[in-house]
Amino acid sequence: MSASHPEGSLSPALVMLMAMATGLAVACNYYAQPLLHTLAEQFGLSIEAAGSLVTAAQLGYAAGLLLLVPLGDLFEKRRLIVTLCLLTAASLLMTALAPGFAVMLLGTALTGFFAVLAQVLIPMAATMASPAERGRVVGRVMSGLLLGILLARTVAGAVSSLLSWHAVYYLAAALMVLMAIALYRALPKMLPNSRMAYPKLIASVFSLLVDEQSLRERAVLGSLAFAIFSVLWTSMAFLLAGAPYHYSDATIGLFGLIGAVGALAASAVGRLADKGRADLSTALGFGLMLLSWAPMALGTTSLTALIVGIIVLDLAIQGVHISNQSIIYRTRPEARSRITSAYMTCNFIGAAAGSLLSAWAYARMGWNGVVLAGTVLSFAGCVYLLVLHRRSRRALGIA
């Protein structure tokens, strides 16, 4: 880090800007979700084919996490972040101008690939924050990220209904250009922590997964949580567009506001993590995920039950994610970008798998198939936590 911006120099205004930037960047991967029904009709696609847009965004994001985020340890961070902002804007324009589904799919994948600037900003914020406030700062920035994921659906649905789906991507591209300007003006220069050659840098991401047990464990938990998140939100548009709801894109997008309730709890979860209670918040998170599918099983007939399930699930997933990051950022401060790369790559591989599973389950079993898939994944997370707890007790010599 440059000497003029030591640890603990992060102002509330800059935290807010970084939270907005992470939200805007990650939102680019989710604009398509409330539009899937509309896009399927326009391009003559099946449910599974339309769902592949979500998968393409997540796989592109996973590739960017692996190949681009580690550059935060190699290059000056402000320049890297601004460059990724502008490349994301260009990819969004490609999607807006797509003459057919194949080009739209490519544009979506490229957008995901470059939108990983959010994951360069998060370790940057963690590095600039003092140890005593790191969990709270990461929680606030993560609030922006989760709000971006959820509110992307609201904005996309509204703009699509008022104008067109093309307008969603034109607007998103313009916002990314404006954010690039704001970040260039506000962010400090931060010098790289590594002088490794690029191939060695990427290889070190895998080495961290091998060497750091806590990182491996949290990567598994994170991938399960993101898979569960994708299982719900990938098929939500199909449920709400069909009987008995028959909602428009705008109305479907409003459900992102419901999920945002969970994202707003991020700072509180961060404070819990600062107090050393990350294991507790993780266990509570997976327990709530499992319970959330009970009301959502009634989602085909009860809108109230569906809404309750969405709020509980998103709150639980956010709690797990903040807890995970609190733990992994305690290790290897000099390699936080690569630690983020390893952790988030696993998460978005899980998210892509969850999207595929969700579209497959909905096409064959309807909403009941989605609920079954989410329940099984949530139960798997609870079992894995129990295994980790027993392993920890044995390591401490406790029967």
The 3-state secondary structure of the chain, one letter per residue: CCCCCCCCCCCHHHHHHHHHHHHHHHHCCCCCHHHHHHHHHHHCCCHHHHHHHHHHHHHHHHHHHHHCHHHHHCCCHHHHHHHHHHHHHHHHHHHHCCCCHHHHHHHHHHHHHHCCHHHHHHHHHHHHCCHHHHHHHHHHHHHHHHHHHHHHHHHHHHHHHHCCHHHHHHHHHHHHHHHHHHHHHHCCCCCCCCCCCHHHHHHHHHHHHHHCHHHHHHHHHHHHHHHHHHHHHHHHHHHHHCCCCCCCHHHHHCHHHHHHHHHCCHHHHHHHHHCCCHHHHHHHHHHHHHHHHHHHCCCCCCHHHHHHHHHHHHHHHHHHHHHHHHHHCCCCHHHHHHHHHHHHHHHHHHHHHHHHHHHHHHHHHHHHHHHHHHHHHHHHHHHHHHHHHHHHHHHCCCC
- What digits encode the pLDDT tens for the residues 354-368? 988 998 999 899 999
* pLDDT for the residue 267: 58
Domain-embedded: residue 3: no
Spatial separation of the C-alpha atoms in residues 243 and 82, rounded to whole Å: 44
Domain-embedded: residue 120: yes
Q: What is the CATH number of the domain that holds 190?
A: 1.20.1250.20
Spatial separation of the C-alpha atoms in residues 235 and 252, rounded to whole Å: 11
Number of domains in the chain: 1
| Chain centre to alpha carbon of residue 288 | 19
Domain-embedded: residue 2: no
Question: For residue 348, with 0-12 CB atoms within 10 Å meaning exposed, 13-18 middle and 19 or more buried, which class applies?
Answer: buried
Parent domain of 20: 12-395
Domain-embedded: residue 6: no
- Total Cβ atoms within 10 A of residue 3: 6
* pLDDT for the residue 301: 92
Backbone angles phi, psi at 106, to 5 degrees: -65, -45
Domain-embedded: residue 4: no
0.85 exceeded by the pTM? Answer: no
Domain-embedded: residue 221: yes
* pLDDT for the residue 266: 54
What is the token pair recorded at 330? 């305690």
- Give me the amino acid identity at 96: A
Domain-embedded: residue 277: yes
What is the token pair recorded at 4? 């003029």
Residues of the chain with pLDDT under 50: 1-4, 6-8
- What digits encode the pLDDT tens for the residues 151-186? 888 888 889 888 888 999 999 999 999 999 999 999
Domain-embedded: residue 322: yes
Using the CB atoms, write b or e for 208-233: b if 16+ within 10 Å. bbeebeebbbbbbbbbbbbbbbbbbb
